Amino acid sequence: MNRAALFDVDGTLTDTNYLHVTAWWEALRQAGHQVPMHAIHRAIGLPGEDLLGHLLDSDRDQAEDARLSAAHDTLYATSFDRLPALASAADLLRTLADADWQVVLVTSAKDSELDALRRAIDADDAIAKTSSSDDVEEGKPAPEPVQHALQLVHVPPERAVFVGDTVWDMKAATRAHVTCVGLLCGGIPQADLEDAGAAAVYRDPADLLANLSRSPFAAVAGAASSAGRRRDMTDR
């Protein structure tokens, strides 16, 4: 059966959320905005323009948004050669690929950031497709990034699982009618992920890998196989 394993990247496969927090904090500070780091952390996972709209007053000078985003990008890029993958991230992707899941990275990062993230994960042999913020009009929590990823691999929502670490990930997947799994390694509490739609929550990629046979991946694979057998019997 054709099925897809969709993954957010920052905070899900790479330990980079707090690098984004400090880059945004410094970019905002340089522009005269005092925004606490905990507020920035809760907004990580949104596209840059939406993140700024979430953090700053609605009557802000939106002409400044591009400069703030560029400053963040420049600051974050200083870490490109040392971005850390989370433990077992590559093993998780390869295990799913070996089990006939099409692995797709679905990120709010731009293509230039995604290249650095893929180098950090070091599992390109397991990745079928990628979708970045450059590929969609609306970012998470809109369903478009998830829908676009499904279109890339021609998989219907009921045969997919989305893994992420933020409420924005969970909301995007839920709105796209895709089963979603939350990871705690991005720093968001379990209750928040569950309230946003997570069907199950694990500590990190290693924990999900250890429990893969009892996870939503097993449930979705089982349901897809059962549907296929019913169709085969009907066709005879």
Residues 157 and 113 placed together within one structural domain of the fold: yes
The CATH code of the domain that includes 159 is 3.40.50.1000
Residues 188 and 150 placed together within one structural domain of the fold: yes
Coarse DSSP helix, strand, coil percentages of the chain, rounded to the nearest 5 percent: 55, 15, 30
* Residue at which a domain ends, from 39, 59, 78: 78
Residues 64 and 170 placed together within one structural domain of the fold: no
> Which residue in 98, 227, 96, 205 sits closest to 159, CA to CA?
227
Q: Provide the pLDDT for residue 227.
A: 59
- What Å distances lie between residue 205 and 24, 142, 229, CA to CA? 26, 24, 31
Give the pLDDT band of residue 226 (cuts 50, 70, 90): low
For residues 168 and 172, what is the distance between their CA atoms, to the nearest angstrom?
Answer: 6
* Residue at which a domain ends, from 78, 99, 123: 78
Residues 157 and 72 placed together within one structural domain of the fold: no
Q: What is the count of structural domains for the chain?
A: 2
Helices (H) and strands (E) in the chain, counts: 11, 6
* Residue at which a domain ends, from 45, 78, 111: 78
* Residue the block writes with tokens 């890029």: 77
Domain containing residue 71: 17-78
Residue 109 has pLDDT above 60, yes or no: yes
Name which of 90-99, 121-130, 217-226 the model is least confident about. 217-226
Residue 233 has pLDDT above 50, yes or no: no
**Residue 82, Cα to own-chain centre: how many angstroms?**
20
Residues 8 and 71 placed together within one structural domain of the fold: no
pTM tops 0.75, yes or no:
yes
For residues 36 and 21, what is the distance between their CA atoms, to the nearest angstrom?
Answer: 10
Residues 226 and 145 placed together within one structural domain of the fold: yes
Residues 205 and 218 placed together within one structural domain of the fold: yes
Residues 43 and 55 placed together within one structural domain of the fold: yes
What phi, psi does 46 have (nearest 5°)?
Answer: -85, 150
Residues 163 and 194 placed together within one structural domain of the fold: yes
Q: Give the DSSP H or E segment for 190.
A: helix 190-195
